[in-house]
Structure 1
Amino acid sequence: MKFRLATAAPWWRPANGNLLRIQGGRPLVGTYPISGAKNAVLPLMVSALLTPHLVTLRNVPANLDVAVLAALLQRLGCEMHWSTRAGDLALTLSADRIRPTGIDADLVARMRASVLLLGALLARCGEARLPMPGGDAIGLRAIDFHIAGLRAMGAVVALEGGLIHAKAPAGLHGADILLPQPSVGATENLLLAAVLADGTTTIRNAAREPEITDLAACLITMGAGITGLGSHVLTVTGGRALAGAVHGVMPDRIELGTLACAAAMTDGELMLPHGRLDLLGTAAESFAAAGVDLRETEGGLIARRANAGLCGIDITTQPFPGFATDLQAPTMALLTLAAGASTISETIFEQRFRHVDELRKMGADIAVHGRTARVRGVDRLRGAAVTCTDVRAAAALVLGALAASGETVLDGLDHLDRGYDRMTGKLAACGAAIVRTDG
């Protein structure tokens, strides 16, 4: 596994140590560079399969998920070249000759985004054979919407023995598709398939997340015909041969929101380059109500705690522009120190409160009833030994540790590596007492 990742992504060097030790109670002050968005770069990398021409992505985050997907694409025959200039990691992909089968199950099991290979391979090769994708254990996240949409476009899909085997004997064709829910993954998968399908495809009740707009913008640069960006109805005029493209990955809005919470929790002040309030959707208003002061400047956002302090709020996760489910765990960490009580309702994933028990070990007062959590603010958190259970839970525990008194030791760091680019080093540069060590 390590050999394959290093071959596909030579920059990937797992950080030394399997434990993260944080001495809390220090304000974060300085500039924290926001990386390219993890949730945007993965479908952008897959989009390179749609053309034999070169696709170059800039502002690529150096995280484990990117390394794993690079290894998957390499197994499909995709060639890639990495370069770094002034701290900007760039990737050029060439999918001149690709193989639609032979994907490693162990790599697919490590990431949910691997399901996006289905639409791209069907569109380009007329066939795809893919193990069932893995990812965080935060809910069922069924791929029924993906498969139903592809079948409407002419694909024949069979699920047997843990494998997805899809063919399009006569090629894919345009279709009018209504998604039962605005699924981000299904919208991306169908968009990738539709740009090469014959005719016009309309995706109704499409997800509106900024990462989808970023993907569509890249596909348009490659020559695709897509209208309705940022709306619930995407119309794709397919059948066009796609050219190459050079595209800069959008800033990571989840990292942005997470570090805004970190600044407020530690009573520090962070400059977050390239940050924009519009990327946060309604979360920007929720943060303001909770006492997170976000000010837009020419270079990004400045985040700090409001003069009135942190205050309890009620939030409900919703598709964009609603409060992002990926920000729920970091925001819960923030609210553990807010005056009064808060209510968090999770409507997207049914198992996304796995971080609650770990925050309780640090002294948080949280009660869970079904998919609703009641958080009562405490005066302080205490350092403890905790375990990361998924990508966003890992970030929440880091935030709790930064604000807690004493030392916190975090295990399960693969989750942190998957979603965050050099978080330990960037936090240390802002004054955090944080080090990665062996157990």
Structure 2
Amino acid sequence: MTTSSAVSAAEAIAIRPGEPLVGTVRVDGSKNAALPLLAAAAALSRLVHLSNVPQCQDVRTMLALLRQCGYGIARSTTNPEEVVIQPISAASEPPELADAASIRASYYLVPALLASCGQARLPWPGGCPVGERGMDLHFRVYEAFGDQVLLDSVGYHVHRAAGRTRAVEITLPFRSRGASVAAILRAVVEGCPLTLIQPNASPEVAEILAFLRGAGWDTYGDENVVSLVPPGGGEAGSLAWEVPGDKVEAVTLACAVAVTRGCAVIKGVHAADVQPAMEAFAWLGIPAHAGADTVTVQAIDTQLTGQPLRAIASLSPGGLDADFEPSLMVLALGTPGVHLFGDAINPGRHGNLIPQLARLGAAIEQLSATHCRFSGPQRLVGTRVTANDIRSGSALIVAGLTAAGVTTVKGLAQLRRGHANLPRKLRQLGADITVDVA
């Protein structure tokens, strides 16, 4: 039998349909929450203990970048998901961070670099190839603090404003998560009050605000405004915080259970974080419930509603997270109705996923680069497909659980950027996933 470690190291895996998935599994910490929390820990300039830190590649890269910036990074010898971030003891020259080009979240490092070096020099960020996601709004945030931003063909250079900044008020033209976090962390570095109007209201931004409250900041956030007031005087001690569970991994696993008509409990995720996906399950007629720390899917002998699902990714408060959309699309392919899906937040993702699903036999009408429509249920047939980004890769694995024959998914380096070992979790639930030996 192929071991889990062999599956985790594979560059391609083979998936065969089998029995319904059943059992209990726990999600990793959230990559999307861990990356800004690591940057927030650095921006605080104090000792921070983070637990439940995922071991996916993007987080490993961020930790390596923090080391290059001069921060002390220590993993627990008994639990690699526990990380200690030690502040830089003295100002230094800005480091050359060539590896920052490999992840999107490298822009979260700017505030910490401004604190330690007075300037930040970074290459243009990389990450999943899901279309243009510009940084103009990030630069407007730094300019609101008086910083100077210089751009060139290889990256950008931010110089910290001279003198102390007073209270800052910023109105975002749209609810950018990256720009919201940039504004919050820049205020932390400056030690000044911030009013941020029309912020991103995602769980990841709420987590940063809760983290800062734990550090003594007076924070408030709702769908209209985020406000921060720095703590008063006094010595700042160490801070301990736990990274929340990965809501995207939880929804992906829930979709995998549902497409196989199984029954499982998925632990370690906040109910509110997955509520938009649970509403999609209910609309399709698939029993799923999010409790305080669990998602329960009971899809055995399900009576599907036949109602068409409209799943449009949105930055609005309570909207559907774009990272939920690919796995929900695969789930809807197996349910009756004419379904509409859209993701204008990541305009290249459909181009990554839909042609791969077509290789499996899916008939999906592309209404535009970001919107598509299809009728279900559809029958998929296994073949070789490629994971072109993290979320498309996980969706293709879910599709392989119901496709007739063998589905081989290659390009797993993309998947491991966001999930330390998603195939292993699916194997825990009974999925037939092995290393591809073809």
What is the TM-score of this pair, normalised by structure 2? Answer: 0.91
How many angstroms does 1:44 deviate by? Answer: 0.7
In 2, the alpha carbon distance for the partners of 1:293 and 1:366 equals 26
Tell me the residue number matched to 2:97: 104
Residues 254-275 of structure 1: CA deviation (Å, up to 9, x unaligned): 1111111111101111111133
Counterpart for residue 56 of structure 2: 63
Aligned 8 A contact 2:102 2:127 in 1: yes
The residue aligned with 2:325 is 328
Please tell me whether the aligned partners of residues 17 and 404 of structure 2 are also in contact (alpha carbons under 8 angstroms): yes
Could you tell me which of 330, 334, 339 is aligned with 2:336?
339
2:9 aligned counterpart, secondary structure: coil
Q: Any idea what the Cα deviations from partners look like across 1:363-397, whole Å, max 9, x if unmatched?
A: 11211121210021134211110000111001110
1:26: how far off?
3.0
Distance 2:304 2:327 in 1: 17
Q: Please tell me whether residue 151 in structure 1 is matched to residue 148 in structure 2.
A: no
Check whether the contact 1:51–1:244 (CA below 8 A) recurs between aligned residues: no
Is residue 309 of structure 1 aligned with residue 309 of structure 2? no
Distance 2:126 2:92 in 1: 21
Q: Structure 1 regions of 5+ residues with no counterpart? A: 1-11
- CA distance in 2: counterparts of 1:114 and 1:361, whole angstroms: 34
Contact 1:51 1:243 in 2 (8 A): no
Question: SS in structure 2 opposite 1:89?
Answer: coil
Per the alignment, residue 269 of structure 1 pairs with: 263
Partner SS state of residue 134, structure 2: coil
> CA–CA distance in 2 between the matches of 1:122 and 1:407?
51
- 1:40 matched to which residue of 2? 33
CA distance in 2, matches of 1:336, 1:171: 57
Code of the aligned partner of 1:179: L
- The answer to whether the 8 A contact 2:94-2:113 is kept is no
Distance 1:223 1:379 in 2: 53
* Counterpart mapping for 1:168-179 below 5 A: 168-171=160-163, 173=165, 174-179=167-172
What is the Cα deviation at residue 88 of structure 1? Answer: 7.2
**Percent identity of equivalent pairs:** 30
Note if 1:167 corresponds to 2:167. no
The 3-state SS of whatever aligns with 2:76 is strand
Give yes or no for the alignment of 1:137 onto 2:134.
no
Secondary structure of the structure 2 residue equivalent to 1:247? strand
Q: Say whether the 8 Å CA contact 1:100–1:129 is kept in structure 2.
A: no
CA-based RMSD of the aligned residues comes to 2.2
Structure 1 residues 438, 217: closer, same or farther in 2, change over 3 A? farther
Distance 2:255 2:162 in 1: 51
Verify the 8 A CA contact 2:199 2:225 in the aligned structure 1: yes
- Any unmatched runs of 5+ in structure 2? none
Matches within 5 A, 1:110-259: 110-171=102-163, 173=165, 174-228=167-221, 230-238=222-230, 243-259=237-253
Q: 1 CA distance for matches of 2:88 and 2:116?
A: 11
2:422 match: 423
Separation in structure 1 between the aligned mates of residue 37 and residue 118 of structure 2, nearest angstrom = 20
Report the AA paired with residue 184 of structure 1.
R
TM-score, with length taken from structure 1: 0.91
Whether the 8 Å CA contact 2:19–2:430 is kept in 1: the answer is yes
